[in-house]
């Protein structure tokens, strides 16, 4: 992975963890997420119309791939929100587990699109995932006793499933961005995700009345979240044009570092020492991915 690609991925990771932080803070997560995507559509449409050298006009291939990827990413967002909504769903636990897609992506990429990566990248991905595992251990650093991921807890199940389902969308992403179409493809992924989320809201009567309340009470956070979500989506898919999907997805595990720091220092979540040390594994994994 080139230095340019890595820098873009790290920026994308910061944006991704930041909008998830806002997502965690929101009261009505389904409405807030939907609202962020509506803001993102406005921003990207204006850029597509007035920006130089970009277009939002898709071909049939782009439409089909974007519609398919949006199915997986919408499910990812919904199940991540379910994890955040539970009392035990700390940002510094649920978020790292929800981005464990690199565990599956290299194998899916090899099977589905024939992408090969070096042993160093595999080693880096493993280190990053070990860090993600340590993040959910509920103990102090001095009294650390490793335990299994307790899938009986709903926030663990939801977050882990979100990471799994994301991996399928990541493979579609790699095919969809092509060589020069990352903006057009990303725009239509956002459009389809917004449509799927709108359908989810329309079938729930109690959610329709909550839209006004969310916009009245949280409009600044909605606008900020939409802008950050836009930067996250675009920068990540631009990076996919520059490196393999396994490397890009693995490197973006550094977002768990940002998520943990936000959880510890802003939300005052417990077990800060072990969760911070766990991020060192993730950083080491990033270095191996870069070298590979």
Contact 171, 151 (CB under 8 A): no
Average pLDDT, stretch 167-186? 86
Q: Does the pLDDT at position 36 exceed 70?
A: yes
Q: Where are the domains of the chain?
A: 3-291
Q: What is the pLDDT of residue 237?
A: 92
Q: In percent, how much of the chain has pLDDT > 70? A: 86
Least confident interval from 28-37, 55-64, 92-101, 209-218: 209-218
Distance CA 229, CA 42 (A): 12
As given in the structure block, the two tokens for residue 235 are 């920068």
Q: For the chain, what is the radius of gyration of the CA atoms? A: 18
CA pseudo-torsion sign 111, 112, 113, 117: negative
Q: Does the pLDDT at position 43 exceed 90?
A: yes
Q: What is the pLDDT of residue 86?
A: 85
Q: What is the pLDDT of residue 73?
A: 96
Average pLDDT, stretch 232-256? 87
Q: What is the pLDDT of residue 144?
A: 61
Q: Does the pLDDT at position 50 exceed 90?
A: no
Least confident interval from 27-31, 52-56, 171-175: 52-56
Q: What is the pLDDT of residue 47?
A: 92
Q: Does the pLDDT at position 242 exceed 70?
A: yes
Among the listed residues 137, 134, 131, 144, the one whose alpha carbon sits nearest the alpha carbon of residue 284:
131
Which residues lie below 8 Å from residue 53, measured CB to CB, with a gap of 6+?
A: none
Among the listed residues 101, 21, 111, the one whose alpha carbon sits nearest the alpha carbon of residue 69:
101
Q: What is the pLDDT of residue 146?
A: 59
Q: What is the pLDDT of residue 87?
A: 67
What is the pLDDT of the chain when averaged over all its residues?
84
The gap from C-alpha 41 to its chain's centroid, in whole angstroms, comes to 18
Distances, alpha carbon 241 to alpha carbons 45, 92, 198, in Å: 22, 30, 30
Q: Does the pLDDT at position 275 exceed 80?
A: no
Average pLDDT, stretch 179-203? 89
Q: Does the pLDDT at position 40 exceed 80?
A: yes
Among the listed residues 253, 104, 107, the one whose alpha carbon sits nearest the alpha carbon of residue 166:
104
Among the listed residues 255, 249, 242, the one whose alpha carbon sits nearest the alpha carbon of residue 164:
249
155 or 115: which carries more pLDDT confidence?
Answer: 155
∠ Cα 38 59 12 (to 5°): 45
Q: Which long-range contacts (CB under 8 A, 24 or more apart) does 155-158 make?
A: 155/82, 155/83, 155/86, 155/88, 155/89, 155/93, 155/94, 156/83, 156/93, 156/97, 158/79, 158/80, 158/82, 158/83, 158/86, 158/89, 158/94
Q: What is the pLDDT of residue 75?
A: 96
Among the listed residues 76, 47, 37, 91, the one whose alpha carbon sits nearest the alpha carbon of residue 228:
37
Average pLDDT, stretch 22-43? 91
Which residues lie below 8 Å from residue 22, measured CB to CB, with a gap of 6+?
A: 32, 36, 221, 224, 225, 228
57 or 214: which carries more pLDDT confidence?
Answer: 57
Q: Does the pLDDT at position 273 exceed 70?
A: yes
Q: Does the pLDDT at position 147 exceed 60?
A: no
pLDDT tens digits, residue range 59-96? 899 999 999 999 999 999 999 999 998 867 678 778 88
Average pLDDT, stretch 21-44? 91
User: What b/e sequence results for 189-207 when a residue is b if at least 16 CB atoms lie within 10 Å of its CB, and e otherwise?
Assistant: bbbbbbebbeeebeeeeeb
Q: What is the pLDDT of residue 261?
A: 85
Among the listed residues 267, 165, 209, the one whose alpha carbon sits nearest the alpha carbon of residue 28:
209
Contact 97, 159 (CB under 8 A): yes
């Amino acid at each position: 992975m080139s230095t340019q690609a890595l820098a873009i991925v790290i920026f994308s990771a910061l944006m991704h963890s930041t909008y998830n932080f806002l997502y965690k803070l929101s009261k009505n997560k389904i409405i807030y997420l939907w609202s962020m995507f509506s803001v993102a559509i406005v921003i990207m449409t204006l850029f597509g119309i007035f920006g130089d050298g970009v277009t939002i006009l898709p071909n049939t291939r782009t439409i089909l791939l974007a519609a398919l990827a949006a199915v997986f990413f919408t499910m990812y967002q919904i199940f991540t929100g379910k994890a955040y909504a539970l009392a035990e769903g700390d940002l510094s636990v649920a978020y790292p587990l929800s981005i464990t897609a690199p565990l599956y992506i290299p194998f899916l990429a090899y099977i589905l699109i024939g992408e090969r990566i070096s042993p160093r990248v595999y080693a880096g991905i493993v280190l990053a995932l070990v860090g993600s595992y340590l993040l959910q251990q509920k103990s102090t650093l001095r009294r650390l006793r490793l335990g299994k991921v307790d899938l009986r807890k709903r926030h663990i199940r939801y977050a882990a499933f979100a990471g799994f389902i994301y991996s399928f969308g990541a493979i579609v992403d790699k095919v969809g961005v092509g060589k020069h179409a990352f903006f057009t493809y990303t725009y239509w992924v956002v459009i389809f995700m917004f449509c799927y989320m709108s359908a989810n809201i329309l079938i729930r009567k109690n959610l329709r009345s909550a839209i006004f309340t969310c916009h009245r009470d949280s409009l600044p956070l909605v606008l900020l979240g939409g802008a950050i979500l836009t930067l996250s989506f675009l920068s990540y898919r631009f990076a996919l044009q520059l490196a393999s999907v396994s490397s890009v997805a693995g490197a973006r595990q550094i977002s768990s570092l940002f998520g943990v720091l936000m959880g510890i220092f802003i939300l005052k979540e417990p077990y800060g020492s072990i969760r911070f040390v766990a991020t060192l594994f993730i950083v080491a994994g990033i270095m191996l991915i870069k070298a590979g």
